[in-house]
Copies of this chain bind each other. A is one copy, B any other.
Amino acid sequence: MDSAIELVSANKCFGGWQKRYRHRSSVLGCDMIFAIFLPPQADQGEPLPVLYWLSGLTCTDENFVQKAGAQRLAAELGMVVVAPDTSPRGEGVADDPQGAWDFGLGAGFYINATQQPWARHYQMYDYVVTELPALIEGNFPVSDRRAISGHSMGGHGALICALKNPGRYQSVSAFAPITNPVNCPWGHKAFGNYLGDDREQWKQWDACELIATAQERLPLLVDQGEADNFLAEQLKPEALEAAAAAAGHPLTLRRQAGYDHSYFFIASFIDDHLRHHARALGRL
């Protein structure tokens, strides 16, 4: 494995650095770019914890970094924030034949595809849970204390990564997550293509299914805008609420009146999520 990383850009930000790096991903079989915010404390020797942020459909590593306003408080708290891309990229990476925005490029769903042509590159789960953290922990002054969060498709990603890996993350949260992909149109399309027709196989990538057998009771913090256009058909917070209640899994689900699916919603509540993670990571 080639673990070299190449700096793409660096911008000083809140006393720290917002950077982008390109690297070769062996699990995805392509070059990838990730964003990393290094707070000012990164220069002081003490290994810092890392929050992984998973973005939603159509995003890259840049959306959260430019629009969420997370760096201000992350700089105060001394937390590194890493934002990967949302799918494998580049020539030779299969895309939706119709170029749709809800599948293929920009829509990896943070799962490991089993069906061709997708399986060749679409292994975002292994990338996010294993390869990328190893790269981060080998190249930056960080500890192995990790948190994970995300938005929409990335909220689904954060929930499944945490639920499937007891002990790997100290905390988890999500904004407007796709809670139950086995029961919504986005999930049907993505899972049907990436995983094939056997719906039993889908369940290992569904937060509502995973919560029933979770080996760790990591408290879930979820914010959901009540004016979100995707609420009823795609996101289904009530499904997560029911699954958590049935399993006795701790869930704080906040329904935010008037808020939609945009980054204006995320920006409005990102500080609460950062503090939630900082408490679990020993930074508050």
Report A's interface with B, CB cutoff 8 A. Answer: 11-15, 18, 66-67, 69, 71-72, 225, 227, 258-260, 262-265, 267-268, 271
Q: Tell whether A12 pairs with B258 under 8 Å between CB atoms, given A18-B264, A264-B18.
A: yes
Q: Can you report 27 A-B residue pairs in the complex whose CB atoms are below 8 A from each other?
A: A11-B260, A11-B262, A11-B264, A11-B265, A12-B227, A12-B258, A12-B259, A12-B260, A12-B264, A12-B265, A12-B268, A13-B267, A13-B268, A14-B267, A14-B268, A15-B268, A18-B264, A66-B67, A66-B263, A67-B67, A69-B69, A69-B267, A71-B264, A71-B267, A72-B267, A72-B268, A72-B271
Q: Give the distance in Å from the alpha carbon of A264 to the alpha carbon of B225 in the complex.
A: 27
Q: Which residue of B lies closest to A269 (CB)?
A: B14
Q: Is the interface of A mostly helix, strand, loop or mixed?
A: mixed
Residues of B close to A67: CB separation below 8 A = 66-67
Which residue in B18, B69, B71 is a CB contact (below 8 Å) of A72? B69
How near does chain B come to A81, taking the closest CB pair, in angstroms? 13
Q: Give the distance in Å from the alpha carbon of A264 to the alpha carbon of B11 in the complex.
A: 7
Q: Which residue of B lies closest to A14 (CB)?
A: B268
Q: Rank and list the top 9 A-B pairs by shortest CB-CB distance, nearest first.
A: A69-B69, A13-B264, A11-B264, A12-B258, A12-B259, A14-B268, A11-B262, A66-B67, A18-B264
Residues of B close to A13: CB separation below 8 A = 264-265, 267-268
How near does chain B come to A13, taking the closest CB pair, in angstroms? 4
Q: Which residue of B lies closest to A68 (CB)?
A: B69
Q: Give the distance in Å from the alpha carbon of A26 to the alpha carbon of B137 in the complex.
A: 58
